[in-house]
Structure 1
Amino acid sequence: MKIGVVTFPGSLDDVDAQRAVRIGGNEAVALWHGDEDLHGVDAIVLPGGFSYGDYLRCGAISRFSPVMTSLVEAAGKGMPVLGICNGFQVLCESHLLPGALIRNDHRKFICRDQRLRIENATTAWTSAYAAGQEITVVLKNGEGAYVADEATLDRLEGEGQVVARYLGNPNGSQRDIAGVTNAAGNVVGLMPHPEHAVEDLTGPGTDGLGFFTSLVERAFA
C-alpha cells in the first residue's frame, strides 16, 4: 500500500515514520503540508514533532495547512489516518478525533520507553495486535496529557474507541488514555511513538511494528 507521511514545518519524525512504513511492507510517499494533492496514497501518517513551533497550541496552526483540507475529506470517506504525538494533536485540532492534548501534569518533557496495553485491535492501524496485548514503545512529549469532558470519556469507553492505555500513567492523561480512534476505526491518534520501535537495533524492540503492518494484513486478509 502507498502510505503518505506529511511533513509540516517543525516535523521531526517524518523520516522515521517513512522508514517504519517501508519496514512494515508498504510504500512511503512524502507529502508536503502546503500541497493539497494526496498523490494517490491509500493511507496517511501525521508524524511527531513541533509543527509550526507549537505556537498558539500544539497542532492549532497545522490544521489549516492545505494538505489537511484534502486529508479531512479523505478521512471522512474512510481513508486510514494515523496521527502520532504531534500528529495526534493535529487530528484533535482538526476535529477528526475528540478531546485534546495538554501539558503534562508534572510540567516536564518526558522521554522514555513506555508500556502500553492495546485496548482496541479492530482499527485499521491495530489489527495486527490482540486486544489486551501489552507492548513497549517510545514516549517523548511535553504536552501529551489526553483530556476530554466526562461525557466524551464515557462514550469513548463505552463504544470501544480507546485504542491504547498507559501501564503506569506518565503524564496525567485522563483514564490512562494513550490513544483513541474515531467511531469508524479508520482514524487513530496515538501519543507514544511506534515508529521508534520497529527495529531491535534502534529502539526498545519491534513492538511498534504492528501499527505499520496492520494495513497490509487487512488488505490481504
Structure 2
Amino acid sequence: MKFAVIVFPGSNCDLDMYHAVKDELGAEAEYVWHEETSLAGFDGVLLPGGFSYGDYLRTGAIARFSPIMNAVKQAAEEGKPVLGVCNGFQILLEAGLLPGAMLRNEKLKFICAPVKLVVENTGTPFTAAYDDGQEITIPVAHGEGNYFCDEATLKQLKDNKQIVFTYKNNINGSVANIAGITNKAGNVLGMMPHPERAVDQLLGSKDGLALFQSILSHWREKNAITS
C-alpha cells in the first residue's frame, strides 16, 4: 500500500506522518506538495497537522483551494481512505469533505497533552483493529479543536455512526465530546488527536498504530492481498 502525505506551506507534522506509515507500519509513503494536481498511483491519502498557510482567515480556509485538493476529493469519491489529522481535519471540514466546523478551544488556550479517547465505531477502515468502547491514549496539540455542528447534523452523525472517536473528558468544548468523525461512506476520517505521534511506546503510547494497521488491513482485504 502506498500513502500520499500531503504537504502544505506550514505543515509541520508531515515528518511524523511519514515515519508512522513508512517506519512503523512498513508501508510505502511519499510526500506530495500541495501544488501537485494528481494522486495517481496512491492507495491512501494523509493530510497532516500544522498551520497551513499560517492559519490565515480560518484554519484550513486557504489550504482547501490548493490544487491538490481536487485530487483529494477524487480519491475520496473513489473510496480510497483519506485521513486528516488536526489541521488536516480542519482542511477536510473547509473543503466540505466532512460536515461541521472548528472553533477556538472553549477556554481559548492551546492544548498540548496526551488525552483519553473512546473508540465509538469499529466498523470503519480506520478502526477495525480496536474494540468497541476501547479507551486509548493519543496526544493533542491544537488551539482550534472545538468541533461544532448544528443539531440536525449531529443527529445525522449519530444515526449514520459517523462519530468514531470521542474525548473521555471533553478538553476543548466539542459538541458531544467529538474527537473524530467520518463521512457517510466511512472512508474519510478527520480527527484532532495525533495518532502518528502514538505509534511507539517510546513516545508514551502506541495506541495510534492500530489506526494505521486498520487502514492497511482493510486495503489488503479489499484487494485480496494475503501478504
What interval of TM-score do these two structures reach, taking the shorter chain for normalisation? over 0.9
Provide the rounded CA distance (Å) in 1 between the counterparts of 2:133 and 2:176.
Answer: 16
Provide the rounded CA distance (Å) in 1 between the counterparts of 2:26 and 2:185.
Answer: 24
Structure 1 partner of 2:225: none
Over residues 82-117 of structure 1, what are the superposed CA-to-partner deviations in whole Å (9 max), with x where a residue is unaligned? 000000000000000000111001000000000000
Select between 37-46 and 110-119 the one with higher mean Cα deviation.
Answer: 37-46
Superposition RMSD on alpha carbons, in Å? 0.9
SS for the counterpart of 1:179 is strand
Provide the rounded CA distance (Å) in 2 between the counterparts of 1:9 and 1:127.
Answer: 33
1:184 is aligned with what amino acid?
A
The answer (yes or no) to whether the contact 2:181–2:191 under 8 Å persists in 1 is yes
- Tell me the TM-score normalized by structure 2: 0.95
Structure 2 partner of 1:64: 65
Select between 72-81 and 140-149 the one with higher mean Cα deviation.
Answer: 72-81
Select between 38-47 and 57-66 the one with higher mean Cα deviation.
Answer: 38-47
Structure 1 partner of 2:19: 19
Give how far 1:39 is off.
Answer: 4.2
Provide the rounded CA distance (Å) in 2 between the counterparts of 1:73 and 1:48.
Answer: 21
Structure 1 partner of 2:41: 40
Provide the rounded CA distance (Å) in 1 between the counterparts of 2:180 and 2:168.
Answer: 13
Provide the rounded CA distance (Å) in 2 between the counterparts of 1:78 and 1:217.
Answer: 15
The answer (yes or no) to whether the contact 2:165–2:181 under 8 Å persists in 1 is yes
Give how far 1:69 is off.
Answer: 0.8
The answer (yes or no) to whether the contact 1:81–1:186 under 8 Å persists in 2 is yes
Over residues 116-172 of structure 1, what are the superposed CA-to-partner deviations in whole Å (9 max), with x where a residue is unaligned? 001111212112112211100101100000000001001101110001000101000
Count of residues in correspondence between the two structures: 220
Identity %: 53
Structure 1 partner of 2:162: 161
The question of 1:204 aligning with 2:200 is answered: no
SS for the counterpart of 1:207 is coil
After the TM superposition, list the runs of 4 or more consecutive aligned residues in structure 1 that deviate by more than 4 angstroms. none
The answer (yes or no) to whether the contact 1:114–1:137 under 8 Å persists in 2 is yes
The question of 1:81 aligning with 2:111 is answered: no
Structure 2 partner of 1:109: 110
Any gaps of 5 or more consecutive residues in structure 1? Answer: none
Provide the rounded CA distance (Å) in 2 between the counterparts of 1:3 and 1:122.
Answer: 21
The answer (yes or no) to whether the contact 2:39–2:75 under 8 Å persists in 1 is no
- Tell me the TM-score normalized by structure 1: 0.97
SS for the counterpart of 1:28 is strand
Give how far 1:220 is off.
Answer: 3.6
Structure 2 partner of 1:51: 52
Give how far 1:25 is off.
Answer: 2.5
Provide the rounded CA distance (Å) in 1 between the counterparts of 2:219 and 2:68.
Answer: 25
Provide the rounded CA distance (Å) in 2 between the counterparts of 1:118 and 1:25.
Answer: 24
The answer (yes or no) to whether the contact 1:25–1:216 under 8 Å persists in 2 is no
Structure 1 partner of 2:3: 3
Structure 1 residues 155-194: aligned runs within 5 Å: 155-194=156-195
Any gaps of 5 or more consecutive residues in structure 2? Answer: 222-227
2:212 is aligned with what amino acid?
F
Provide the rounded CA distance (Å) in 1 between the counterparts of 2:105 and 2:133.
Answer: 25
2:143 is aligned with what amino acid?
G
Give how far 1:219 is off.
Answer: 3.2
SS for the counterpart of 2:208 is helix
SS for the counterpart of 1:178 is strand
Provide the rounded CA distance (Å) in 2 between the counterparts of 1:33 and 1:124.
Answer: 25
The answer (yes or no) to whether the contact 1:25–1:213 under 8 Å persists in 2 is no
Give how far 1:80 is off.
Answer: 0.7
